[in-house]
Amino acid sequence: MKYRYLGRSGLLVSRLCLGTMTFGNAQWGCDEEGASAIVRQFVDGGGNFIDTADGYSGGEAERILGVAIRDFDRDNLVIATKCWFPTGPAVTARGLSRKHIITACERSLKRLGVDHIDLYQFHGPDPYTPIEESLRAADDLVRAGKVRYIGCSNFYGWQIAKANVLAEAKGLASPISAQHLYNLIRRDIEREILPAAADAGVGMICWSPLAAGMLSGKYRNQGAPDAQSRMGIQAAVTMPRYWFEDALKLIDLVVEIAQRLGYTPSQVALSWLFGDHQVTAAIIGARNADQVKENLLAGDIDLSAEIREELTQALPLNHGYPFEWTDNNLRSTFKNAEFEPRHRVRLP
Ligand SMILES: NC(=O)c1ccc[n+]([C@@H]2O[C@H](COP(=O)([O-])OP(=O)(O)OC[C@H]3O[C@@H](n4cnc5c(N)ncnc54)[C@H](OP(=O)(O)O)[C@@H]3O)[C@@H](O)[C@H]2O)c1
């Protein structure tokens, strides 16, 4: 297992993070015993980074994770959780208000059975609460010793930039990580989110790295996913997101490259993410320990630049404007400079 520093922080995490959205999910997940087997497989395989959220299985995922980690030295693990989704019927029990963040954190600590959370993440942006209020509440949790670092998830690029500039200006704890949807099929974050995160020194933690299981190649030559699979059960969301002609062609290439290299398609799809050093970790979600065992090997695989490029070009991303404008004008305008642009905003 290889390890990467999370953004600009000194926190070293395994580049595979264990996701727990399956824990306690009766339809496409696992029970307490299955979850403990998954955690054991992951930690024994060198993983130290585990992601959960108070919204997963109505809090059950945190409780079950708390049971599973009792077998291990808590100090050797990096436990991440999140708040934002409703935790009850009260109108205040959601979002990123000071009131909710502090209550949600206290409850997560109890469910997990730990005295601190290593990475406390805002699960999504709250359009009604000033970000300064949320940052101050998170900073208080850091100062109280209940949280070590803070991060965000599903933020727009400008929100990542604003949160970091504000936190720095006010002397508050700055978000060191962003958690976003990123995989070979859906590369939307390359437009505005990865550049914003790079500029702020924020590390990317990718969710759904296997596109709900599609990139394992298991649905190839099928007209539809198996009804009891994650893809099948969540079809209303997953099918329009991942199941289209160009994606199916890309998956054929992932399978072909996997055969060429002696890996599995899942291992190839996961390791493609690590070719970009701004990606700190990919969060592997699993139904059972066998899936974890297979996916864990990607923690050590580095694809060659040529193979990575072949995969990247198989389903190209149209970056659109203003990338198109900068591509046409920037290099010619600044052609007298000896080196590449100093600022970290990427060009397509
Ligand atoms: N911040 C956010 O908003 C957000 C959103 C979503 C997820 N997350 C985090 O990211 C984690 C992963 O997300 P995800 O579950 O959507 O990831 P994913 O990589 O898109 O899908 C994981 C699913 O793929 C299948 N799978 C996994 N390994 C496989 C293998 N080797 N072979 C065949 N099938 C395999 C399993 O489902 P089946 O066995 O049912 O096919 C598994 O549940 C979550 O647990 C959570 O921690 C965060």
- Between the CA of 104 and the centroid of ligand 1 the distance, in Å, is 24
What's the pLDDT tens digit per position in 55-76? 999 999 999 999 999 999 999 9
Q: Is 56 a catalytic residue?
A: yes
The C-alpha atoms of residue 248 and residue 263 are separated, in whole angstroms, by 19
Structural domains in the chain, sorted by start? 3-316 (3.20.20.100), 318-348 (no CATH)
Give the pTM: 0.96
- Residue 287, pLDDT > 90, answer yes
The DSSP secondary-structure symbol of 30 reads: B
Higher confidence at residue 185 or residue 327? 185
- Which amino acid, one-letter code, is at 318? N
Q: Phi/psi zone of residue 262: left (φ > 0), alpha (ψ -120 to 50 degrees), beta?
A: left
What's the pLDDT tens digit per position in 258-281? 999 999 999 999 999 999 999 999
User: Measured from the CB, is residue 108 less than 6 Å from ligand 1?
Assistant: no
pLDDT band at 12 (very low <50, low <70, confident <90, very high): very high
User: Measured from the CB, is residue 229 less than 6 Å from ligand 1?
Assistant: yes
- Between the CA of 311 and the centroid of ligand 1 the distance, in Å, is 21
What is the residue with the minimal CA distance to atom 13 of ligand 1? 208
Which residue has 């708390």 as its token pair? Answer: 66
Nearest by Cα to 34 from 214, 290, 227: 290
